[in-house]
Each structure stands twice: as C-alpha cells, then as structure tokens.
A and B are shown apart, each in its own frame.
Chain A
Amino acid sequence: MSAVKNDASSSAAPIPPFDVARWRRDFPALEQRVHGHPLVYLDNAATTQKPQAVIDAVVRYYREDCSNVHRGVHQLSQRSTLAFEAARERVRAFLGAHHTEEVIFVRGATEGINLVARSFLGPRLQEGDEVLVTAMEHHANIVPWQLVCEEKGAQLAVIPMNDRGEISLDEAEALISPRTKLVAAVHVSNALGTINPVKGLVDAAHQRGIPVLLDGAQAAPHLELDVAALDCEFYVFSGHKVFGPTGIGVLYGKRELLEAMPPYQGGGDMIRSVSFEKTEFNVPPHRFEAGTPNIAGTIGLAAALDYLSGIGLGAVAAYESELLHYATEQLLGVPGVRLIGTAKEKASVASFVIEGVHAHDVGTILDQQGIAVRVGHHCAQPVMDRFGVTSTVRASVSFYNTHDEIDALIGGLEEVLEIFRP
C-alpha cells in the first residue's frame, strides 16, 4: 500500500526508521483533545505547532534577557543583541546564504514580498513593464506586485499550469520578454502542494538578466534549502510555518542588490545619522529593519531552525513524502473524492473536493471529530478558478503526523458521507 522508504532491497546503508512518536512528544499542543477526540492536526500549511524548545526559548528571553537590541551597554541588552544577531546567523546557515547581512527580519513572507515590491521593484518599474508570476501564487505573491504595477501602469503576466497543477519551463521561458522586470514564483504551492522547478526558472530568467523572487513560505518547512545554489535574488519565508513564532519571517536578498535599495520604512535602527536636514541610512540588513524588531520572534525562530536541523530536513522530507503518498492513496479510495493538485513533485499538501459536499461542511464535520483541516480558497483564488471550484478541503502534513492520523481523516470523511449520502 505504501512505499516503505527503508526498503531492504535498496543497496544503500539502511535509513533508520523515522521515530515520529519521539518527535510528537516535543509538541505539547498535539497532546490535547478536541470535542472529546484526540487532536489530529492536519493544517500545517496554515501554521505549524511549536515544539517545547521554541516555547522555552521565547519564555527564557522574556524571563531573563528582556531588553532592547542594539541600544544598550547593559548586560541584558548585550545578551539580547547577541541572541538576536545569532538568530540572523542561524537563518543564514538554514538558507545556505553567503552572508549574514543578506538576512533581513520581517513580519513574515507577506512583508518580505511587500518590501521587495516597494524598495526593489517600484523604483525600476515603468509603464508597460511586466512582473511574471505563476498561476498558483498565494495572494501574498500577487497583490503586492499589483499595487506597485497599478501605480506605474505595469502589469502581471502569468505562467499557466496544466491539469495536474504543474508549470512548464518552456512556457515560462516563452513568457519572459524585454518587458519582464521580475519573476516572482512560489517554491511550493500552498493550495496544491506542487514543488515548482525553481532552479530552472531562475536559470531561464537569468539568461535574460531578469531577477527572481521565490516565495518559500511552504518550502522552508519541508525541503532542504540552498539559496546560493538556487542563485535567486530574493527568497522569503515565515517563521510560524517552520515551527517558530508568528510575527517573524525572513527576506533573503543578494547583498549587492540590498545595498542599492532604498529603505522600506523609516525609523530607529535603520539610520546612520539623522538631522532635520538629512538622514544617512544604515547598511543592510539594518536599513530594512526600522524600529524595535520582534526580538522574541527571532530568538524563537532560531530555536525552531535548530530543532528542525536536529531532526534533519532530509529525514523530514522523506518521511513526509511517504506519508503524503499514503494519504493520497487513502483519499482516492473515498467515494466522490477528487484531488486538486496531482503534480509529480509535491510536498505536504493533499487538497481535494468531495462531490456533492461543500468543503465548509466537510471542515465542520471533521472538526467535530477533532480533525483540523483548512477549508476555503487558501488565499489562492486564481488556483480555485483554474480548477473550477470555489474551495477545497486541504490536509497538510508535517513530520509529526502519523499514519493513524491519516486513517482518522479517512474515518472522518466516511462520517461526512454518512451525513450527506443517506
């Protein structure tokens, strides 16, 4: 039924079985019951649960090191500044970036994209120019571009996808024109789970000298990243989707581009000197981090990345991929289920509709059994339109989910059918 990863027939050294029970114990929220049932949390694409290590790191900051950063000579401020900058280095290593100052702390993927739209794209954009996106973008990778495009009389061009939810590099290349000023593409689709061929996309854009932003909100929790190898100009992700706190995220940008970019917001920390006549801006990353940052968030994020690296993203990806495969097979056995998003390369997400039953009703009935999924358009309405649906049910797995939980989901869907198909 399911492809077992550590198959004895493989000649490589046996991979130790993934000890999901052990990792689950690190997540206190997973122990609760909901409506009298054990919580089955399958809404990881919306946000992930937090391991105790992250909760502890945030609490420790507030209990012991609480102080502002970059502003004090006292002991507490020194500690928090060190922890804050250590977090930046932690993120650099996680992303595989060359330089620590290429890591800018923002509120999340959304703010990272808005920053690039305002400070990078805005000043270069002219009437008639285009931003090339894919047909499977989250609204966060559509609307910020539209806002600057509208101001300049520029527009979006869209790389189409096939019925499986895949884009083709040939079509992408054909759409790159002298008017294209930026390619902005999702690395892993939140609505479909598709893993896009981002390296090929970057190479195609670079052949024409066009910069690329990758939205890694759904990639960071599931794939090993190496932005230096990808060679993209910008990469964004959100802390809360990689087991870290909400309100913290990362914009990676190539150093030489960041250095040439004007600030995004004005305030403290982003300046070198201020008089009422003239302000001299600080260097990146500080130029883009106006005001007191989310210090606890960065510390929590670093703890989350430590935690994730401790398990190993390779092991995480292998386990999740097998679990997703199992979930997909089981779902296809439920009468009336149609999967939305059947790309060959997928991560975490099983999006589906059930014939004759609205996703919203499915969500409520599953919730009554303690099963948390997302229902709706997943902030990706163009994707829904493409597949001719208004909403889907989305189960998104993480490494702490189990095969038993997939079975619970299937049991929950049988309950849905019982109610709707008497």
Chain B
Amino acid sequence: MTSDLRELYQEVILDHNRTPSNFRALEGAAYRAEGYNPLCGDKIQVFLQLDGDRVEEVTFQGAGCAISQASASLMTEAVLGKTVSEARLLFEQFQELVTSETQTPDTDEGLGKLNVFAGVREYPMRVKCATLAWHTLKAALKDSAEPVSTE
C-alpha cells in the first residue's frame, strides 16, 4: 500500500467502517436529520437525544464509503456527553483538520481520536465524505426538517 493511502485508510477508520459504533435508529429521538451526498448517492440519518444542553444519546444509520461511515461512527463517540456548543466547536475543529492547507498539521488535542482523519486533506474529493455526518448532526441540532446536502 502506498504511504499516502495508509495515511487515509488508517486502521481505526477501517475498524469503524467494519463495525461502526452507535449504528442504529433511535426510536423517539427528539432531533434527527438526513444527510445526502449527491456525488456518490450516500445517505445518512443522525438521531439525537439531548438532556438539557447535553448530548445524551446520538446514533446514525445509512450507507456510505469507509470514510463517511467511520467519520459518522467516531463523531457519535466524540460528541456524546458534550454540550451543544462544544459539539459545534468540535465540528469547526474537525473541518479545519480535514481542509487545512498545511502539509504536516499539528494534530489538534481537542479532537482526540478524530485526528485519524488528518489524511483526508490530501484527497479534496473526499472531504465531503468525512464531513457528511457532521453536517447532518448540525442540521439535527437546528432541528431542521430539510434533508441536508453536502452541495
């Protein structure tokens, strides 16, 4: 495997693709949204339950590439227990991580495990795969009825 590909398809990503965390519908979830990537036809649903301002439960469902599935899975792990504004901040940091121009970025301590997605920046066509779940989460937080799209 080329080293570039190894950067992208890290073991953590492949593992979460094979056995994603929190991969299920959440019956009676107060917040939910659907995300869609028209480029590849991937669809994802994010379900969210808040306890006051805190993410009490978050799950997802859908089909997609390894990057989008692993990103959704790790996202649910990362935002669980966070406040809504902390989750929003995490999204901003994550977006920065996968799009920043610098060659060898400092990994962001606040991102923890999510740093495995740093390799995505070398693949501009794949940034949308990595951020689809996050865009959908953001929409769920807005309680938007409209399906979001990465376009």
B61 CB → nearest A CB, Å: 14
Q: Bound complex: CA of A277 vs CA of B1, how far in Å?
A: 71
- Indicate if the CB atoms of A390 and B43 lie closer than 8 Å: yes
Contact indicator A376/B5 (Cβ below 8 Å): no
Q: Is the CB of B2 within 8 A of A419?
A: no
Chain A residues near B41 (CB-CB < 8 A)? 376-377, 381, 384, 390-391
Interface size class of A (residues with CB under 8 A): 20 to 34
Report yes or no: A364 in contact with B64, Cβ–Cβ below 8 A.
no
B65 touching A358, Cβ below 8 Å? yes
Does A205 make an interface contact (CB < 8 A)? no
Mask for B63-92, Cβ within 8 A of A = 1, else 0? 111110100000000000000000000000
Q: Give 1 or 0 for each of A345-367: 1 = CB within 8 Å of chain B CB.
A: 00000000000011111001100
Bound CA span A422–B17, Å: 13
> How far is it, in angstroms, between the C-alpha of A360 and the C-alpha of B8 when the chains are bound?
13
How far apart are the CA atoms of A420 and B17 in the complex, in Å? 10
Q: Is A292 an interface residue (CB 8 A)?
A: no
Within 8 A of B (CB), among A383-422: 384, 390-391, 415, 418-420, 422
Tell me whether chain B's interface is mostly helix, strand or loop, or mixed: mixed
> A364 to chain B: which residues have CB within 8 Å?
5, 8, 123, 125-126
Within 8 A of B (CB), among A35-49: 35
Asked if B2 and A361 make an inter-chain contact with CB atoms under 8 angstroms apart, the answer reads no
Q: Is A265 an interface residue (CB 8 A)?
A: no
B129 at the interface (CB under 8 A from A): yes
Give the docked Cα–Cα distance between A262 and B69 (Å): 51
B50 touches A (CB below 8 Å): no
Determine how close the nearest CB of chain B comes to the CB of A171; give it in whole angstroms: 27
7 A-B contacts (beta carbon < 8 Å): A360-B40, A361-B65, A365-B9, A377-B40, A377-B41, A419-B1, A422-B14
Given contacts A361-B67, A376-B41, A422-B14, 13 further A-B contacts (CB under 8 A): A358-B40, A358-B65, A358-B69, A361-B9, A364-B5, A375-B40, A376-B39, A390-B63, A415-B1, A419-B5, A419-B9, A419-B14, A420-B14
